[in-house]
Amino acid sequence: MRSVIRTLLAPVIWVADKLGTSRQVSRSEAQQAEVDQACETLALYQAWSEPDCIQVRREITRLGLEIETRDVRLDPENTRALKEEGGKLEVPCLYIREPQGEERWLYGAQVIIDYLREQFGE
């Protein structure tokens, strides 16, 4: 029943997510280009209707970040990667490819938000 409700509410959540959050960080064009390049090493494993995932996506919008999202409910490959490479099947999860080639997997909305604010906040 819970999944049916989430499925039915997903379009409403998507619209609210897009219209209800605005960018709050201002950067020069050069600074934004650096941030965009840094974001290429990140990916958010998520599910559109999960409240914690919505919270993280809103923070991404507020910070003006372009982070690839990988929905684990829509793509079995994303589910496999999250479980096998990340270690557990839990969303939200931020995948980070470090400059030295190491990989990190951050789990939990607040942990991810704190990391993003530390890395990209004003």
pLDDT digits (tens, 9 = 90+) for 12-63: 655 655 555 677 888 999 999 999 999 999 999 999 999 999 999 999 999 9
The pTM score is 0.82
pLDDT digits 0-9 by tens, 12-23: 655 655 555 677
Strands 93-97 and 68-71, how do they pair? unpaired
Point out the least confidently predicted range of 25-29, 79-83, 84-88: 25-29
Nearest to 50 by CA among 78, 71, 25, 28: 71
Q: How do the residues of the chain divide into helix, strand and coil, expressed in percent and rounded to 5?
A: 50, 15, 35
- The predicted model gives 70-79 an average pLDDT of 96
